[in-house]
């Protein structure tokens, strides 16, 4: 394997094997550290990040999450790698974050990564403080991934009929309320006793979800893979990223621009809230841990339900008052 600035690695294992994958990720995490080590300025962010990649904390982070974190760290490293890691102040961090005001989510993610680095620097004895801790994140006005409403759901279902792999991917997401990283690996081996067993990649939490009749119908009507219900054109399971891109393309083909698989997870949560399920019941399906996490997905549905109940009470009260006004009124002497 070759990469500019990294050592060439001769891998003795066949691609696709567990040994190959392990060697590859070791190279990703440590390869750059060994190359040109003499060029790394001691005490710099280059030095700190290189050491962080070798740390116990980094090793304990999920592989998919490490991929995201590494991208964020490397973008910062490309600009500020040679600067001292032990002289940065809260004002410096705030300036960096404020310069990214146009992309508040990216700015907040960078603040979190810097916080991790500085905590690691404290453990290393490089610093006694964490300047990122006192810097506030930027306010995000976006509602995040668009939640599918019933009209969008109907539009997708009309375009992609039951029996198509596109519809199966849609039904798996909507009727299990899981993330794309979990939907992509769902297969026949996970089904037993009318339920589908899921071990969430992000949380490592195991769920047993009863299968909705429409999901069962969709699976039975579709030609599926042996290890994954939905596979690429080559017959192999999708990667998380390619699965998301592929599904977004199918949404656009159905005339749904800006909609994603994660929006279906939100739609499933919305439906459960509209059906009157408790937070505890919703969490049993989605795998969320806290009520606040569920609230992010169900807040809109709960507002509608509360408003309907309030209007119903008001209507009954007004009707009663109106009826009373038309009743014959007695007198004190009657």
Q: What fold, for 150-292?
A: hpI Integrase; Chain A (1.10.443)
What's residue 34's pLDDT?
44
> Can you give the pLDDT at residue 150?
92
Q: What is the pLDDT of residue 106?
A: 93
First to last CA, the chain: 103
Q: How high is the pLDDT of residue 80?
A: 94
Within 8 A by CB and 6+ apart from 217, the residues are: 162
Adjacent-strand bridge partners of 195: 192, 210
The domains of the chain are located at 40-124, 150-292
Tens of each residue's pLDDT in the chain, 334 residues: 566 555 566 667 777 776 677 666 665 655 544 444 457 888 999 999 999 999 999 999 988 789 899 999 999 999 999 999 999 999 999 999 999 999 998 999 999 999 999 999 999 999 999 999 999 999 877 556 778 999 999 999 999 999 999 999 999 999 999 999 999 999 999 999 999 999 999 888 999 999 999 999 999 999 998 889 999 988 889 999 999 999 999 999 999 999 999 999 999 998 998 888 999 999 999 999 898 888 877 877 777 777 777 887 877 766 555 565 666 666 555 4
Stated length of the chain = 334
Chain Cα centroid distance, residue 53: 23
CA–CA separation, 202 vs 199, rounded Å?
9
Q: Confirm if 319 and 312 have CB atoms less than 8 A apart.
A: no
Domain 40-124 matching CATH 1.10.150.130: the answer reads yes
For 114-130, b/e burial (b = at least 16 CB within 10 A) is bbbbbbbbeeeebbeeb
Backbone angles phi, psi at 25, to 5 degrees: -70, -30
Residue 77: per-residue pLDDT: 94
Give the strands of the sheet with 206-210, arranged side by side. 191-192, 195-199, 206-210
How far is it, in rounded angstroms, from Cα 94 to Cα 112? 12
DSSP string, 265-321: HHHHHHHHHHTT--HHHHHHHH---SHHHHHHHHHHHHHHHHHHHHHHHHHHHHHHH
SS3 192: strand
């Amino acid at each position: 394997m070759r990469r500019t600035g990294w050592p060439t690695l001769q891998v003795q294992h066949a691609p696709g094997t567990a040994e190959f994958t392990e060697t590859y990720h070791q190279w990703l995490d440590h390869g750059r550290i060994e190359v040109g080590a003499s060029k790394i300025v001691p005490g710099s962010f280059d030095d700190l990040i290189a050491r962080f990649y070798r740390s116990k904390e980094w090793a304990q982070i999920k592989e998919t999450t490490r991929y995201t974190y590494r991208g964020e760290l490397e973008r910062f490293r490309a600009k500020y790698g040679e600067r001292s890691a032990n002289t940065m102040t809260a004002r410096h961090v705030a300036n960096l974050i404020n310069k990214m005001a146009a992309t508040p989510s990216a700015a907040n993610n960078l603040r979190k990564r810097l916080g991790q680095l500085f905590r690691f620097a404290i453990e290393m004895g490089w610093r006694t403080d964490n300047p990122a801790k006192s810097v506030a994140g930027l306010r995000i006005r976006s509602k995040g991934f668009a939640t599918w409403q019933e009209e969008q759901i109907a539009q997708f279902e009309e375009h992609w009929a039951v029996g198509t792999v596109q519809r199966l991917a849609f039904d798996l997401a909507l009727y299990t309320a899981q993330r794309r990283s979990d939907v992509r690996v769902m297969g026949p081996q996970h089904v037993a006793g009318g339920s589908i067993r899921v071990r969430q990649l992000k949380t490592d939490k195991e769920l047993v979800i009863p299968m909705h009749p429409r999901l069962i119908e969709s699976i039975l009507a579709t030609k599926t893979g042996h290890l994954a219900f939905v596979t690429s054109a080559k017959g192999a399971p999708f990667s998380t990223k390619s699965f998301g891109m592929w599904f977004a393309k199918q949404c656009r083909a159905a005339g749904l621009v800006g909609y994603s698989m994660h929006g279906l997870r939100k739609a499933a949560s919305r439906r459960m809230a509209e059906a009157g399920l408790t937070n505890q019941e919703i969490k049993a399906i989605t795998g969320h841990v806290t009520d606040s996490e569920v609230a992010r997905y169900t807040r809109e549905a709960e507002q509608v339900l509360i408003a309907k109940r309030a209007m119903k009470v008001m209507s009954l009260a007004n009707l009663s008052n109106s009826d009373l006004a038309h009743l014959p009124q007695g007198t004190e002497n009657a």
